[in-house]
Amino acid sequence: MTATDDTAGAGRKSRIKAPIEFFGGLFLLGLAALGFYGAIDLPGGELSRMGPGMMPRIASAAIAIFGAALIAESFITEGNAPERWHWRGIVFVFGGVLVFSLTIRDFGLAVAGPLSVIISAFGDRETRLVEIIPFAVIMTIGGALLFKWLLGLPIPLMPYLLGY
Amino acid sequence: MADMIANLALGFGVALSLKALMLCFLGCLIGTLIGVLPGIGPVATIAMLLPVTFGIDPVGALIMLAGIYYGAQYGGSTTAIIANIPGEVTSVVTTLDGHRMASQGRAGVALGIAAISSFVAGTIATLFIAALGAPLTRFALLFGPADYFSLMVFGLMFAVVLARGSLAKAVAMIFTGILFSTVGTDLETGQARLTFGVAEIYDGIEFAVIAMGIFGFAEILRTIEQRETRVVQDAPIGRLLPDLSDLKMSSGPILRGTFIGGFLGLLPGNGALLGPFASYATEKRLSKEPARFGHGAIEGVAGPEAANNAGAQTSFLPLLTLGIPPNAVMALMVGAMTIHGIVPGPQIVSKQPALFWGMVASMWIGNLMLLVINLPLVGLWIRLIRAPYRLLFPAIVLFCCIGIYSIDNSAAEVGMVAIFGFFGYVLMKLEFEPAPLVLGFVLGRLLEEKFRQSLLISRGALETFVSHSISATLLALTAILIVISLVPSINKARNKVFVE
């Protein structure tokens, strides 16, 4: 996504003047396609008796129109290139969240808590293992104290050992 | 007038019970605690703390949530003054002069005047709400489906004008939000819509999931990327209480800010957002020495802070009287109300007066508590702001996960936060504003319902939206708004406001 020249092909200067609007337009067209596809089997009905498919189609059509307009604009008006993506943060922070969601049911907070803290921490270059491991343990205990015992929410702690 | 006093008495009867006071206090305290963390605005704070209120009775839960909201707002101002990091758009203005004051060794006075102006604004706004609540409710009862539809269209258009950047992109975001809101079972026919066979979203997408992903996680990633630019003020805090000349300089701005913010907060489509900007511009224009602004002028903190808090409170009115949430925070309040079986709308005032007036009274108590807990605890807040972000953000991630899991005891929803977080990141990089999307999502279902109802009544005739006088007026206002925002010079001025 970062290299804007890719879209122009080799040896040719890009005719896209505002790459950020161009990608924005593509993004909207993608969303609209998803909306149309998801509503493909739903009856639209008519204005006096709207079916479940009407609103998704109106919204998707509007998104598509704005997407096309953005792409057209990107060939006419000068604009910026999109900012660079920092994959490190994306991978580790969302990785931590996903690991939490995959482990919380079967292994409980005792496992999901420290794992999510440690994994997401590596989204930042300054993270050190010696520091983050004890911190993860303390935060998990704090979270358990607050949500489990103080608030009584039914979050599993150690299902395999304690049964809850 | 007698009614108003009787109602307020009822409200204070509810809000002054020991339990309500405790909940309000706890809400303010933990709201500030989380809100003061850099990069966490009120929306993410409330989304994270929503489950905390599940075990409490409805009135208590809403009192506590309101406390959390004020706390988060004030926490944002503290971060803005000390670390020059606005927790959300409304505290951007506070960074201008507030942070300057901090670097001049007057951080304490800036924090003090922010607390005092918030309290004064809160007091006036509470009275304002008490006075307007009943008449607005009567007015709301006149609204038919077509009028509701047009009011929401007006609110959405207003949100578009308030978003920074391109108008076309903001409108596209509104429709994206509406598209997301159609996901799940159709209320009238029971058919599953846009679920792609995923069972977890048959009930629709949980609002807290979208809010947390798009506001919370996108913000965490942005902060990690921009780490190098963070400067925390090392200058001494100084005394906390403003002296007589400070107060004298601030009194006018506080009163004007309260009225500007309070009025704008009533508008649907997050008008409260505009309050601090409008107040700052007003004070700069009225000032005899406008050059002082941007260099630590106390008026530049007092006015916008008052406007911010007044707007935060009056924005409860569209929700409590019309059932229409004007911004993301109020949408989270709807979520909380639904969990407790309360349907927001004009019937609340008549059927659950204890709830309505208890909340109004607790707004004032919450403001008083903020004044009492925040100033003595300033040292703690500053230590929190200075805590290394490399430790803060993993802890935030953990508590977000626990919070989202606890809303529905659903592990899948935690995973969905990651998906929407990534979606929010893409929006950020492509310079799409998330606020209109969120409002579109919030209003989408109601918008569709009222659109369907109106057309069912009118047998498919679209004229119904212009033949009802309230609806026609609102649509005319919307049209004026569109025309105004398309005028190039105003459009330029709009961008300038946000750049400043």
| pLDDT tens string B67-76 | 998 888 888 8
Q: Are B70 and B308 in contact (CB under 8 A)?
A: no
| Phi and psi at residue B318, to the nearest 5° | -55, -35
CB atoms B394 and A27 under 8 Å: no
How far is residue B274 from each of residues A48, B78, B95, B349, measured CA to CA in Å? 39, 20, 16, 28
Domain boundaries, chain B: 2-145+204-409
Higher pLDDT, B24 or B382: B24
Mean per-residue pLDDT, B130-155: 88
Higher pLDDT, A80 or B279: B279
Give residue A2's pLDDT band: very low, low, confident or very high (50, 70, 90). Answer: very low
CA distance B40 to B28: 15
CA B58 to chain centroid: 21
pLDDT score at B230: 55
What does chain A come to in residues? 164
Higher pLDDT, A164 or B86: B86
Which tokens sit at B53? 């209120």
* Terminal alpha carbon distance of chain A: 45
Nearest CA in chain A to B197: A38
A-B C-beta contacts closer than 8 Å:
205
Q: Which residues of B36-48 are buried (b: 16+ CB within 10 A; e: fewer)?
A: bbbbbbbbbbbbb
CA distance B225 to A87: 10
For the stretch B31-64, pLDDT in tens is 998 888 877 778 888 888 888 887 788 889 988 9
* Vertex B407 angle, CA B405 and B410, to 5°: 45
Q: Among B479, B473, B471, B475, which residue's Cα sits nearest to residue B145?
A: B471
Q: Which DSSP state fits A81? A: P
CB atoms A151 and B52 under 8 Å: yes
Contacts of B390 in chain A (CB under 8 A): 121, 124, 126-127
pLDDT score at A3: 43
Name the helix (H) or strand (E) containing B126.
helix B107-140
Considering only CB atoms, B390 lies closest to which of A60, A90, A126, namely A126
- Cβ atoms within 10 Å of A13's Cβ, excluding its own: 7
For the stretch B204-230, pLDDT in tens is 898 889 988 988 888 889 888 876 555
Give residue B471's pLDDT band: very low, low, confident or very high (50, 70, 90). Answer: very high
Partner A contacted by B72 (CB < 8 A)? no
Which residue in the block uniquely carries the two structure tokens 């092909």?
A: A9
- Is residue B120 scored above 90 in pLDDT? yes
B198, B405, B453: best to mutate for the A interface, most A CBs within 10 A? B405
Contacts of A51 (CB under 8 A, 6+ apart): A42, A43, A44, A45, B189
Residue B432 CA neighbour count, 13 Å, CB half: 35
pLDDT score at B494: 58
B152, B153, B176: best to mutate for the A interface, most A CBs within 10 A? B176
Name the helix (H) or strand (E) containing B257.
helix B244-266
Q: Are B154 and B474 in contact (CB under 8 A)?
A: yes
Contacts of B1 (CB under 8 A, 6+ apart): none
DSSP E strands in chain A: the ranges are 45-46, 49-50
Question: How close B411 gets to chain A, by Cα (Å)?
Answer: 5
CA distance B183 to B210: 13
Nearest CA in chain A to B433: A24
- Is residue B260 scored above 70 in pLDDT? yes
Q: Are B359 and B316 in contact (CB under 8 A)?
A: yes
Give residue A7's pLDDT band: very low, low, confident or very high (50, 70, 90). Answer: very low
DSSP SS3 for B478: helix
Contacts of A65 (CB under 8 A, 6+ apart): none
Domain boundaries, chain A: 16-76, 87-150
DSSP SS3 for B149: helix
For the stretch A43-94, pLDDT in tens is 888 888 888 999 999 999 999 999 999 999 999 988 888 888 989 999 999 9
The interface pTM score, or ipTM, of the predicted complex is 0.90
Mean per-residue pLDDT, B423-450: 91
- Cβ atoms within 10 Å of A14's Cβ, excluding its own: 13
CB atoms B175 and A135 under 8 Å: no
Which residue in the block uniquely carries the two structure tokens 């509503």?
A: A39
For the stretch B151-200, pLDDT in tens is 999 988 888 887 777 888 999 999 999 999 999 988 888 888 888 888 88
Q: Are A97 and B402 in contact (CB under 8 A)?
A: no
Higher pLDDT, A57 or B375: A57
pLDDT score at B40: 77
- Cβ atoms within 10 Å of B386's Cβ, excluding its own: 14
Return mean pLDDT, chain B: 86
Contacts of B262 (CB under 8 A, 6+ apart): B121, B124, B125, B128, B307, B310, B311, B313, B314
Q: Among A151, A55, A37, A70, which residue's Cα sits nearest to residue B30?
A: A151
For the stretch A24-35, pLDDT in tens is 999 999 999 999
Nearest CA in chain B to A73: B168
CA distance B303 to B220: 30
Name the helix (H) or strand (E) containing B185.
strand B184-185
Which tokens sit at B195? 């679920």
Q: Are A135 and B393 in contact (CB under 8 A)?
A: no
Q: Which residues of B18-32 are buried (b: 16+ CB within 10 A; e: fewer)?
A: eebeebbbbbbbbbb
Nearest CA in chain A to B404: A101
- In DSSP terms, B192 is beta-bridged to B185
B152, B205, B222, B391: best to mutate for the A interface, most A CBs within 10 A? B391
* Terminal alpha carbon distance of chain B: 42
* Vertex B212 angle, CA B210 and B218, to 5°: 100
CB atoms B54 and A124 under 8 Å: no
Considering only CB atoms, B397 lies closest to which of A20, A48, A120, namely A120
Name the helix (H) or strand (E) containing B184.
strand B184-185
Give residue B450's pLDDT band: very low, low, confident or very high (50, 70, 90). Answer: very high
Which residue in the block uniquely carries the two structure tokens 């496992």?
A: A111
CA distance B26 to B65: 10
Question: How close B48 gets to chain A, by Cα (Å)?
Answer: 12
DSSP conformation letters of B314-337:
HTHHIIIII----SHHHHHHHHHH
CB atoms A120 and B409 under 8 Å: no
- Cβ atoms within 10 Å of A159's Cβ, excluding its own: 16
DSSP SS3 for A49: strand
pLDDT score at A9: 42
Partner B contacted by A36 (CB < 8 A)? no
Partner A contacted by B405 (CB < 8 A)? yes
Which residue in the block uniquely carries the two structure tokens 């038919």?
A: B144
- Is residue B268 scored above 50 in pLDDT? yes
Considering only CB atoms, A105 lies closest to which of B52, B411, B451, namely B411
CA distance B20 to B362: 8
CA distance B173 to B439: 9
Considering only CB atoms, B220 lies closest to which of A27, A93, A98, namely A93
pLDDT more than 90, % of chain A: 55
CB atoms A59 and B429 under 8 Å: no
Question: How close B372 gets to chain A, by Cα (Å)?
Answer: 24
Nearest CA in chain B to A29: B172
For the stretch A93-152, pLDDT in tens is 999 999 999 999 999 999 999 999 999 999 988 888 999 999 999 999 999 988 888 777
Contacts of B182 in chain A (CB under 8 A): 39, 55-56, 59
Q: Are A38 and A56 in contact (CB under 8 A)?
A: yes
Contacts of B412 in chain A (CB under 8 A): 101
Considering only CB atoms, B390 lies closest to which of A53, A73, A121, namely A121
Dihedral (C-alpha) A144, A147, A150, A153: value to the nearest 10 degrees?
-120
Name the helix (H) or strand (E) containing A110.
helix A109-121
From chain B residues 194-233, the ones with a CB under 8 A of any chain A CB are 194-196, 217, 220-221, 224-225, 227
